[in-house]
Structure 1
Amino acid sequence: MPTRNLSNLFAGWEGELKLLIDTGPTQDEFWSYWAEREAAVEQLITPELEPQFETELERLFAIAEAHGYLRPTVVHPALGPVMADPVGMPDVSS
């Protein structure tokens, strides 16, 4: 996938993300949406595009976090707090 197409893909995802945030989804709804999009994009990433993918993903995480959608974390007995797979995480917003 050419870099330009990846940029376009993330620009589209950012637009969707902003529209979704405007609807006020629950944490479960938000992270379910996120997991679907991230999984779809990950299938298209080649090793050469990995750095750009990570940079763009962090940018979208920053947008989400600015609106109160913090990345779910779990406590692993050996590792301490680690990022969790958002799919299936409980709604902790209430």
Structure 2
Amino acid sequence: MSPDDDCQLGDLAENFRHDAAPDPNAGTDGPRRTRRALVDRPGTAWLALAAAIGGLATGIALAHGLLIAGALMLAGLSGQYFDPGPAQRRTGRSAE
């Protein structure tokens, strides 16, 4: 590489370092409201569980394997929604 290329690469690296530096003015727009995680919403978990049970019952009644498999996947997903997570299990906090 020529010395001119080294100079251009040095300038480019300096620009990246400048862009990667945290902005001291970031977050000064006022307090932001954060959305609760999907896991923290018990209504979503109950809705997913109800849909899974309904899909499973329909799949069994129609003897449709793909519908049964989809309902079982949704039941597993709703089980994940009810799980508070390892951090909350250690501290004893509920997911509410």
Point out the structure with the larger strand share.
1
Pairwise same-fold verdict (TM > 0.5):
no
Q: Which has the higher contact order (CA 8 A, sep 6+)?
A: 1
TM score, norm. by length of structure 1: 0.33
Q: Which has the larger radius of gyration?
A: 2
